[in-house]
Amino acid sequence: MQTLYFVVPCVMIIFLVLAFPNGFCLADINMKSGSQCSQADYSDSEGTFQANLRVLLDSLASNVVENHGFYQTIVGRKANRVYSSVLCRGDISASSCSGCTLNSTRVASNDCGMSKEVIIWFRWCFLRYSNESFFGDMQQTSVAITNETDFDDPSVVSEGLPFMTGLADAAPDRSYMFLTAILNTSQGGQKRYGMAQCTRDISRIDCRRCLDAQLESFRTVIGNKRRWEIYGSNCFMWYNDYHFYSNASALLSAAWRPSSCTRLIIGTTLAVSAAIFMFF
Ligand SMILES: *[C@@H]1O[C@H](CO)[C@@H](O)[C@H](O)[C@H]1NC(C)=O
Ligand SMILES: *[C@@H]1O[C@H](CO)[C@@H](O)[C@H](O)[C@H]1NC(C)=O
Ligand SMILES: *[C@@H]1O[C@H](CO)[C@@H](O)[C@H](O)[C@H]1NC(C)=O
Ligand SMILES: *[C@@H]1O[C@H](CO)[C@@H](O)[C@H](O)[C@H]1NC(C)=O
Ligand SMILES: *[C@@H]1O[C@H](CO)[C@@H](O)[C@H](O)[C@H]1NC(C)=O
């Protein structure tokens, strides 16, 4: 049985959604891991917001690759403004990053067409957009995916969480706030593989807080499992019993430095954390 856990840690509401529709496949193939759309909003009578959104979504796949797998942009003015962020998993190739981004924008248009606040989680990329700014504002909404009955060897369990806690502590200080690590367990050559990543608009301190909160919130869900993934709004973790990630990332290498020096100025934001989301 596949289980999808939603957590909004500030209020500690846990939603259990049984029968995860796409299944939790073991191989590292890309798949949709979850989505969150705000209630459909039909107030955009002139279609300006939708037009801005289309322009924005069309610009993401190429720009995210140019920007080492993380890109934020704003399109439009005043009430019709759209803020968007896309992050690719740090180990994937440039073509997987743009392909995943493109697919996530299609899912957003199909599944959340009239929503103004949208999050789409894929295994390889994360898309978020909103009519309100969320840049730099760490939020702790997260989804954990695991196979409820795939328990790990008890002696490995006692090493797995401390290993991931160490990874959560070290990842924020790495460039791009992305880190992979291998656990050599005390069980005759068995290994476990971990990965953690944050969106690059938050501070290193917030990155660490975000990852720590995920481990804390889902401790009982993931603690004794062999494989799990946690997808948040600003941070992400993966744990597995095989080497699921690639060793060399073209995305994060110098070859993909953006050609211009333009950088988005991250403004301060307010009240986003008070937003109420609808889960579908
Ligand atoms: C964003 O959209 C929601 C409804 O979808 C609306 O309640 C809110 O006021 C909008 N925010 C802005 C800044 O327009
Ligand atoms: C995007 O979707 C297409 C069509 O479903 C699929 O063939 C392709 O593998 C997907 N790409 C990624 C990176 O997920
Ligand atoms: C979940 O784990 C159990 C135990 O390892 C296994 O028998 C089952 O096939 C797994 N389910 C899926 C969908 O992978
Ligand atoms: C784990 O084992 C490998 C060899 O299998 C070794 O290269 C690596 O340094 C070990 N890692 C740690 C943290 O001990
Ligand atoms: C990555 O490196 C490890 C050794 O550190 C190796 O076992 C593994 O096959 C490599 N994976 C890929 C995809 O190159």
- What range does the domain containing 53 cover? 34-130
Pick the closest to residue 201 from 172, 178, 234 (CA basis): 234
For the Cβ of 165 lying below 6 angstroms from any atom of ligand 3, the answer is no
User: Whose alpha carbon is nearest atom 14 of ligand 1?
Assistant: 79
CA–centroid distance for 243 within its chain: 20
* Predicted confidence (pLDDT) per residue in 185-215, tens digit: 998 889 999 999 999 999 999 999 999 999 9
Q: Is the CB of 186 under 6 A from ligand 4?
A: no
Tell whether 152 and 119 lie within a shared domain. no
Same domain, 157 and 259: yes
| 65 pLDDT more than 80 | yes
Q: pLDDT digits over 92-150, tens only?
A: 999 999 999 999 999 999 999 999 999 999 999 999 999 999 999 999 999 999 998 89
Ligand having the closest approach to the CA of 26: 3
**Total structural domains within the chain:** 2
246 and 202 assigned to the same domain: yes
Ligand number with the minimum distance to the CA of 41: 1
The Cα–Cα gap between 232 and 102 comes to 20
Residues 55 and 175 in one domain: no
Q: 276 vs 241, which has greater pLDDT?
A: 241
Report pTM.
0.85
| Beta pairing partners, 198 | 235
State residue 258's pLDDT score. 43
| SS3 label, residue 176 | helix
Asked if residue 102 is part of any domain, the answer here is: yes
Question: Would the CB of 150 count as within 6 Å of ligand 3?
Answer: yes
Q: How far apart are CA 244 and CA 215, in angstroms?
A: 20
Shared domain for 15 and 153, answered yes or no, is: yes
Asked if residue 29 is part of any domain, the answer here is no
Which distant-in-sequence residues (6+ apart) come within 8 Å of 168 by Cβ?
196, 208, 211, 212, 214, 215, 237
Q: What pLDDT, on a 0 to 100 scale, did the predictor assign at position 268?
A: 24
Whole-angstrom distance, CA of residue 207 vs CA of residue 165 = 13
Q: Give ligand 1 pocket residues (Cβ under 6 A).
A: 38, 41, 79, 116, 131-132
Q: Can you tell me the distance from the alpha carbon of 12 to that of 142, in angstroms, rounded to the nearest whole number?
A: 11
Based on the domain organization, do 275 and 170 belong to the same domain?
A: yes
Instruction: For residue 238, give the CATH number of its domain.
Output: 3.30.430.20
Lowest pLDDT segment from 17-31, 87-101, 246-260: 17-31
23 has a pLDDT exceeding 70: no
The answer, yes or no, to whether any atom of ligand 2 lies below 6 A from the CB of 32, is no
